[in-house]
Structure 1
Amino acid sequence: MTLAAFCLAYAGFSALCLAMDRHYEDLFDRALPRRHRVPLRVFGWTALALSLWASAAVWGWSYGTVEWIGILSIAGMLLIWFLTFRPRAALTAGGLCALAAPVLAVL
């Protein structure tokens, strides 16, 4: 479940990153359509909330919150690194994490 929480956090950060004009333009070489902004933000915040829930489900709310903050830190730093050196890989990894999180949650 910890891996699912990490994948959800990374996917959420990736979606929130894509909801920003600058990062969307860097990846797709065009302006962010207005109709994409809100769904990306909703998915991003929902994924982060589900990541917190997954951490709390395993460790309880007191320790799970601390673990979640660590997971957020690692996922954020990894996304920053990917965006700096491999922006397309950041998008691919975010999509793969979004697909892998439900599978990892079941395991």
Structure 2
Amino acid sequence: MTALFAFIGMSCLCLSMTRHKRDVLGRPLSPTQSRGLRVLGWAVLLLSFGVALPDGALAILRWIGELSLAALAAVAMSALVSSRRRRAGRR
């Protein structure tokens, strides 16, 4: 469950960044929408930490690993969607 929340949080943070939202969505978001994604992303990351916390110290280390993998997956997903958008635009 913590990995899912970490992925959702990282995806929201990724989409709140100017380059990634342009690549993935193809259009800019309003500053309010970007701020909302950023706040939602941090809130979900805190939720994932809260879910991992009761399991002890080793669970926190596992959470850090899951957080790293979630960040990698979010960026990879962003790159995949971006490359598909570019290929579709060439046709």
TM-score by length of 1: 0.70
Check if 1:72 corresponds to 2:67: yes
| Structure label with greater radius of gyration | 2
Instruction: Structure 1: give runs of 5+ residues left out of the alignment.
Output: 89-107
Displacement after TM superposition at 1:75 (Å): 1.0
Instruction: State the Cα RMSD in Å.
Output: 1.6
Equivalent-residue separation in structure 1 for 2:36 and 2:29 (angstroms): 12
Mapped contact 2:14–2:75 kept (Cα < 8 A): no
Indicate which of 44, 47, 51 corresponds to 2:44.
47
Kindly report which structure 2 residues correspond to 1:26-41, keeping only aligned pairs within 5 A, or say none: 26-41=23-38
Runs of 4 or more, structure 1, over 3 Å off, are none
Displacement after TM superposition at 1:65 (Å): 1.4
Equivalent-residue separation in structure 2 for 1:85 and 1:28 (angstroms): 12
Instruction: Structure 2: give runs of 5+ residues left out of the alignment.
Output: 84-91
Displacement after TM superposition at 1:67 (Å): 1.0
